[in-house]
Structure 1
Amino acid sequence: MARRSRPALSTRLAAALLASVFLLPFGSPKAGAADGPIVVARDMDINSLDPARAYCDTCQIYLSSVYATLLTLAADNQTIIPSLAKSWEVSPDVTTFTFHLDPAATFSDGSPVTAADVKWTLERLKNIKGGPAYLMDSLKSVEAKDDKTVVITATTPNSEFLGILAAPYTGIINSKLASANGANAKDDAATSDTSDTWFLANSAGAGPFVLEKYTADDSLRLTRNDKYWGKKPAISGVVLKQTADAVTQAQMLQSGAADIAMQVDPDTAKTVSAPDATFKSVASFNYVYAAISPAAKSAPVPLTKEVREAIALALDYKGIIDFTVGGDGKEQPSAIPNGYPGTTDLPAPVSNIEKAKELLAKAGHPDGFAMELEFPAMNVYGVDLSLLAQKVQQDLGKIGIKLSLKPVPFTVWASDIDNPGVPFALGFFAPDYFGSAQYVQYFGMLPGMPWAKRAGVGSQPGLDGKEQLEMYHKALAATDAAAQEKAYHDLALRMIDDKIIVPLVSPNLVLAYRNDVSGVRYSACCNLPLGEIEKK
């Protein structure tokens, strides 16, 4: 494949498919009228609908629509603003956070949101030990001072804790309702809580919508919460319709079968003639990455620093952007996304085939080796991961690494990469809130953190994690912008040097929607804020 062949191929293919598909009747229901639910076409990656267990991009959309958080993120994607908490105070050492709940806040069954619900929710999030549990790693205690006052104490200074409380996974749950259906916040909740199935059919939040019905691999249906204590949504409901590929999503938008299409890539958008629809490219904090796990039991050779460096040098980063999104994206140097604290003036990723070959030879693999590349079989942020995998396969083939490609369902991939189980994988990440600590926690080599465990921190040479942990605590203790920038910049450089997480492309996001729909925007915490959408 030539470096720029994919955009031309994609344009011709998309045009042909779009032309042919409009000759056929489309089976999906038409998008609703102005007073009906809107239809959102997207490839859904749902692993759970329980706020403490769910961890996916679609989960962000769902949770932020159904479960209100103490705080939320303004449209500028940086400013923290009130939600359930109408005011708050932070101690000078950023370890104690006091929140005063809005007395008007109620759950969808009409019962008031109390400090006891906040305490139960955050303790449960920590104890369930699901994907988003890392957000509560610094949680020491939660105290309900009275029904409307809650005091949260962190084990160490945490200047990002307010941002964390805007993450949709911290959405406050109606504890009485959930407890009556198998949920609990006990220390052993990871094994004793039996509510996951109940959450797939019911919601217990204080958000603008409630769950109507979820059908796996088909649709997620929400209806307006008529008892919502805030500004009520202008639309009566939302149907998130499982739609795997960008071409079909664009077709649904053009025909009116969908009001919003969420994963139309820039290439496909250029092929669509739709005077009734808008396709708007905006920068995002989303990215797709390659991950190398030296501790994986199935690693074909020791994935030493030299081997990891060789893999990173063999990748054609500019070509990947051309190949996957037609050039409509950016290189990303570190696992902390462009535009977040610490990312100014980071060194750009470098491609160097000869140097990569030298490093492989030095590591004892002059002829390369064979390895499997596992990835979710889906389209994310307009990137077809199957096409990206083919490009990575081509790039590494130039240094003798022969990749076999293993596309799997998202839930299988999420399970496989743990324990640690996959030596080489593709993944993707959207921010949970505006703040760099989440990336250091999730992707950094900190003892006990997700990718550190998968990489083998403490057992693999050069990955002891102690120095990064000290750097991380220093970053969290920094309270002014300049000190935070410096601390996270130093951490970003270390993460680049580790070559465990290798970002491949930060694609621009295509906001695609019918012209009679307004309020569609990209959110760094919530992906797509459904409560702001209106339809004429």
Structure 2
Amino acid sequence: MRYRWSALIALVAAMHVGTAAAVERGGVMTFGRYADSLFLDPASTEVNVDIWILSNLYDTLILPSDDGKGLQPGLATSWSFSGDNKTLTLKLRDGIKFSDGSPITSADAKWSLDRTRNPDTGAWASLYESIDSIAAPDPSTVVINLKHPDPALLPVLTAFASAVMPSKLIEATAGATLADKVKAFAEHPVGSGPFKLQSWKHDAEMKLVPNPYYWRMGEDGKPLPYLDGVTFEVIPDDATRILRLKSGELDASEFIPYARVEELKNDSSLNMELFPSTRIEYVALNVRPELDGKPNPLANPKLREALNYATDKDAIVGIVTHGVGTPMTSFMSTATPLHVGDKPLYPVDVDKAKQIMHEAGLDKGVKVTLMTLAGNEDEVGIATALQQMWKEIGVDLEIQQIDNATRTAAYRAGTFPSRLSLWTDDIADPSEITSWALYYPAVQSFHTGWKNDKAVEIFQASQKEMDPAKRQEEYKQLQEIFNSEGPTVPLYETPYPVALAKRVQGFNQLPLGNNLFAQAWLKK
């Protein structure tokens, strides 16, 4: 079968997306963030604080559609598969440039994707496993040769990790190794997206200004973005961030605590948005046999099972999200393609949890440490509730409040005991979260150390399966395995809570999480 996509997709989408009033250009939007970015490198990062900035600095060959559910042309205007689905050819736009004015070529796309798919340099390399080689036969053509057909390849090419970077500029950056060059370049990146980085004061402030060479046109027939800039202010404390929003110092704030949503809905100066999402909240449990040289109680699957049955998800949804959330019915969100499940996982049963603890010989109790984000009201609420619930079965939960950078470092190193975790899909395909959750070769299953050989085998098969019905069955099996044995305590899924000043128009957060500022504007 031969597939062909073109700018027609974008035209059809544009017919259904618009603003009620004529856009106005100019002004700087000030956005309050809960944490700063850590490393602005598309290939190697795996955290949202980086990803949601990168989507404004870099474009990909193919972009997610404006509703996050499909595809639309990005740096490539068209693409087509060969008859055997093992060769994908993409054609680049004419005259596209990086934010420094240098041309974007197929050689840059090849270099970027080769680096991303290399396990030594790409955190998400497992998603690109099907690629055998990439060619750039001329400056405007990219040819991707596959080892086998890949049902997820097109969505994967929309991911932040597929961003096209300026290869010559990076190679020319000072540094003994490529890793050194990328580290230096990431402090002052030159990108292909609607904005460019003007300045960055770590843990305090980041300023973006328009990329003067950006290709995409706005509703007024002029290049996007509409804004003169976006200033991100890092304010870890939820209460302080909201106070500054209400006083008019901020134009917008992310991750509004659900306890404050109703209050902000009633504020006449604000628009309290709940954007549709793929966001899930869960407890990640480190299941390695030892931590810090001592036996790890969470290595015992019986303890993990008991914790799940002792957790009243409905109560947490009520306490923390004030009814905005819903209990998880699988390890992936209900909005994720091929999701299976219509009942909450592990309905609360304290008596059963106690019986499991008894059978496991844990009657005398056990101590567990949970890492939470300091200043985050939702996480404090979850942790406090878990502390009380787990105490009923003899589990002493120690709550450790730390900053985001420290927790992320421990998580990636596999040295964390347990932690509250948030996930949101970056592509409209289940392969991303599944590779992260149970494909051990990727990141050792959410960095927990859990491994299931059967799950690994099924996932590898699903990455080659072009029959939709067979692939759906494989994902059903994968969800059954993880939902019954996985190293998490699934909690809930929720929309993205973002509060905006009334003057902010056109801002969008996709179900894939990306904060998109290219079409945002300020009403004067």
Q: TM-score range by the shorter chain?
A: 0.7 to 0.9
Report how far residue 254 of structure 1 moved. 2.2
Partner of residue 375, structure 1: 372
Aligned CA-pair RMSD: 2.3
Of the three residues 324, 330, 340, the one matched with 2:320 is 324
How far off is 1:182 after superposition? Answer: 4.3
Equivalent residue letter for 1:433? I
2:190 maps to amino acid: A
Amino acid of the structure 1 residue aligned with 2:484: D
Equivalent-residue separation in structure 2 for 1:78 and 1:527 (angstroms): 13
Is 1:435–2:432 an aligned residue pair?
no
| Equivalent residue number for residue 61 of structure 2 | 70
After TM superposition, give the deviation of residue 347 of structure 1 in Å.
Answer: 3.5
Pairwise CA distance, 1:417: 2.4
1:148 to 117, 140, 163: 140
Q: Deviations over 1:59-116 (max 9, x none)?
A: 2221111111111111222111110111111245544322111123211122221111
1:268-298 per-position Cα deviation (integer Å, ceiling 9, x unaligned): 1322453121112233111221112221522
Asked whether 1:221 is paired with 2:195, we answer no
- 1:177-197 CA-to-partner distances (Å, cap 9, x unmatched) read 11111479xxxxxx7420344
Name the amino acid aligned to 2:410.
D
CA distance in 1, matches of 2:229, 2:342: 43
The residue that corresponds to 1:207 in the other structure is 193
Q: TM-score, normalised by structure 1?
A: 0.85
Paired with 1:233 and 1:509, the residues of 2 have a C-alpha distance of 23
Aligned to 2:52: 61
**Contact persistence 1:297–1:420 (CA under 8 A):** no
Answer yes or no: is 1:424 the counterpart of 2:415. no
Deviations 1:1-32 (A, max 9, x none): xxxxxxxxxxxxxxxxxxxxxxxxxxxxxxxx
Verify: 1:242 aligned to 2:234, yes or no: yes
Whether the 8 Å contact between 2:277 and 2:335 is mirrored in structure 1 is no
Q: TM (normalized to structure 2)?
A: 0.87
> Per-residue deviation at 1:141?
1.8
Pair 1:517 & 2:501 matched: no
Equivalent in the alignment of 1:251: 243
| Alignment-derived partner of residue 291 in structure 1 | 284
Q: Name structure 2 gaps, 5 residues minimum.
A: 1-23, 218-223
Matching residue within 93, 104, 127 for 1:102: 93
Q: Report Cα offsets for 1:486-505 as digits up to 9, x if no partner.
A: 32222111110123133212
- 1:531 paired to 2:518: yes
Distance in 1, matches of 2:500 and 2:284, equals 33
Aligned residue number for residue 401 of structure 2: 407
Paired letter, 2:352: K
Q: State yes or no: 1:500 paired with 2:494.
A: no
Aligned to 2:154: 162
**Residue 264 of structure 1 is aligned with which of 256, 266, 269?**
256
When residues 426 and 406 of structure 1 are mapped into structure 2, their CA distance, relative to the original with a 3 A threshold, is same
What's the secondary structure of 1:512's corresponding residue?
strand
Alignment match, 1:10: none
Partner Cα separation in structure 1 for residue 375 and residue 114 of structure 2: 33
Match of 1:387 among 355, 378, 381: 381
> Partners in 2 of 1:270 and 1:526 — Cα distance?
22
Partner SS for 1:285:
strand
CA distance in 2, matches of 1:55, 1:430: 11
2:275 to 282, 300, 304: 282
Give the total of aligned pairs: 488
Q: Which runs of 5+ in 1 are unaligned?
A: 1-32, 185-190, 458-462
Secondary structure in 1 matching 2:278: coil
Deviation at 1:471, TM superposition (A): 1.7
Indicate the SS of the match to 2:515.
coil
C-alpha separation between the residues in 1 aligned to 2:123 and 2:372?
Answer: 18
Residue number among 440, 448, 453 corresponding to 2:441 in the alignment? 448
CA–CA distance in structure 1, aligned partners of residues 158 and 513 of structure 2: 9
Tell me if structure 2 keeps the 8 A contact 1:332–1:504: yes
Shift of 1:209: 0.6
Cα distance change of structure 1 residues 94 and 260 upon mapping to structure 2, 3 Å threshold = farther
The worse-fitting range, judged by mean Cα deviation, of 161-170 and 446-455 is: 446-455
8 Å CA contact 2:278–2:424 kept in 1: the answer is yes
Residue 488 in structure 1 maps to residue 475 in structure 2: yes
Match of 1:352 in 2: 349
The alignment partner of 2:190 has SS state of coil
1:468 pairs with 2:455: yes
* 2:436/2:446 contact within 8 Å kept: no
CA distance in 2, matches of 1:449, 1:516: 43
1:136 Cα shift? 3.1
Offset at 1:154? Answer: 3.5
Contact 2:278 2:512 in 1 (8 A): no
The share of aligned pairs that are identical, in percent, is: 25
User: Secondary structure at the residue paired with 2:273?
Assistant: strand
C-alpha separation in 2, matches of 1:93 and 1:456: 37
Cα distance change on mapping 1:396 and 1:237 into 2, 3 Å: same
Amino acid at match of 2:310: A
Q: Is the 8 A contact 2:289 2:299 kept in 1?
A: no
Contact 1:71/1:80, CA 8 A, preserved across alignment: yes
Task: Return closer, same or farther for 1:474/1:282 CA change in 2, 3 Å cut-off.
Answer: same
State the one-letter code of the partner of 1:451: Q
Distance 1:208 1:282, change over 3 A: closer
Contact 1:295–1:423, Cα closer than 8 Å, also in 2? no
| SS of residue in 2 equivalent to 1:140 | strand
Contact 2:387 2:397 in 1 (8 A): yes
CA gap of 1:83–1:454, structure 2 versus 1, over 3 A, is closer
Q: Structure 1: how far apart are the matches of 2:116 and 2:96?
A: 21
